[in-house]
Amino acid sequence: MLVLPLILSTVITISLGVPHSRQLGHPVLQDDEDADLTVPELVTKYGYPAEEHFVTTSDGYILRLHRIPHGRTSHNKNKVAFLMHGLLCSSADWIITGTTHGLGYLLADEGYDVWMGNGRGNHESRNHTTLNPDTDADFWHFSWHEIGNVDVPTMIDYVLETTGQSQVYHIGHSQGTTSYYVMASTRPEYNDKIAAHFSLAPIAYMNHMTSPLMHIVASFSGPLDVLAELIGLNEFLPSSDFIEAVGSLLCADDEITQALCTNALFAICGFSPHEMNATILPVLTGHTPAGASVRQLMHYAQEINSGYFREYDFGLDNLAIYGQLSPPDYDLSKITAPIYMFYSHNDWMAGETDVIKLCDGLGDACAAHFLVSDDEFNHLDYLYGISAPEILYARVISLMARH
């Protein structure tokens, strides 16, 4: 098997401290200045108001939020939209496709006060009051459980306090939906602070996902977990060697395909060429992947293997940590705020069977689920797809107006 040595060499390369680089994806096509601009710089450049805020969690993580308080011409209607990114993504994902396609801009133009969160550990929120992410392994001892249980509620409280509102419209993509389900089930009092939640490519159950790279990670998750602990690997930063090797194995030879395949995010999630706007590639590969902990990936690997939606499996330590041998399930019956789900047939991560099972498990809280009309729509097209505004965001926006 060629892939295991590749993964191991990645692991070892990372442990030697290859520095974080925004060029991880590929240097090709990165000639646009937008690739190097921060979120507020981009938003301002395109004529929208931008703000940056910081909030510290109860366990010391310093999280960065970005805000577009209103559109270029619209009047703020005192409604807050809170957008939460997925794995290896960041607040940038809601705006990097530009003013005609970015959901952050479209909502601002609709008069929403748009807040874009960043979970602990991505390159926007790689900071802590006492722990140093470069030298303290403890910084990285979290999965999306902590993002949902601590970070999202902390950010929502900050947003409500700052805006004087009592509820947000919560929109999540991928892990941004997982962290929502974690929050709404483990901190059920937060359901009252949600006008409605919109799940773009919902992820809770995962044993029908089809990503080849995630299957490989899942099949080695046991040994990888042990190895990661052993050598102190905690931050997930795939080396360009690894990703380029996988990319060249799995992908066609043209420049655009290679630029995407050699980007960790696209290598994991796949992409649909006809939904991909080549104009935005430089800014896209300049801002993704945005970093994560190894545990975030391992937690998903556990779900792929087990079929459960439950807390992190610490193996022999479960008894000490949870007082039981296996990790507790997330209690879906605690989730009460209305949820709208959007899924698609060509999504490598959010399998249709898993999405429907989640909606069924949520009972009345799952207000509706919608199949995206493009059969080729992939996991990242919810953010970057050319037709996303037309076939997806328009419906989200009209549903928001009803609540």
Nearer to ligand NAG (CB atom), residue 203 or residue 283: 283
Q: According to CB under 6 A, which one of 137, 160, 386, 399 is a site residue for ligand NAG?
A: 386
- Shortest CA distance to 39 belongs to which of 80, 83, 87, 81? 83
> Per rule CB under 6 A, is residue 256 in the interface with ligand NAG?
no
- φ/ψ region of 233 (left if φ > 0, alpha if ψ in -120 to 50, else beta) reads beta
Tell me how many residues contact ligand NAG (CB under 6 A): 10
**Residue in 50, 204, 213, 280 binding ligand NAG, rule: CB under 6 A:** 280
Indicate the pairing of strand 79-84 with strand 62-68. unpaired
CA distance 83 to 66: 10
* Cis upstream peptide for 212 (omega within 30°): no
Report how far residue 93's alpha carbon sits from residue 171's, in angstroms, rounded to the nearest whole number: 13
Among 98, 188, 222, 307, binds ligand NAG (CB under 6 A): 98
Binning the chain into helix, strand and coil, the percentages to the nearest 5 are 45, 15, 40
62 binding ligand NAG? (CB under 6 A): yes
| C-alpha span between 393 and 75 (Å, rounded) | 20
Stretch near ligand NAG under the rule CB under 6 A, chosen from 65-73, 183-191, 272-280, 348-356: 272-280
Catalytic residue among 93, 185, 379, 387: 379
Q: Which is nearer to ligand NAG, 67 or 101 (CB)?
A: 101
- List the one residue from 21, 132, 248, 279 that touches ligand NAG (CB under 6 A): 279
Verify binding: residue 127, ligand NAG, rule CB under 6 A: yes
> Does 75 qualify as catalytic in the annotation?
no
| DSSP, res 297 | H
59 labelled catalytic: no
138 is catalytic: no
Whole-angstrom Cα distance, residue 180 to residue 200?
A: 11
Do 58 and 5 meet the contact criterion of CB atoms below 8 Å apart? Answer: no
Applying CB under 6 A, which of residues 21, 78, 210, 277 lies at the interface with ligand NAG?
Answer: 277
For residues 102 and 338, which CB has a smaller minimum distance to ligand NAG in the complex? 102
Regarding 122 and contact with ligand NAG (CB under 6 A), the answer is no
- Positions that interact with ligand NAG (CB under 6 A): 62, 97-98, 100-101, 127, 277, 279-280, 386
- Residues designated as active site: 174, 347, 379
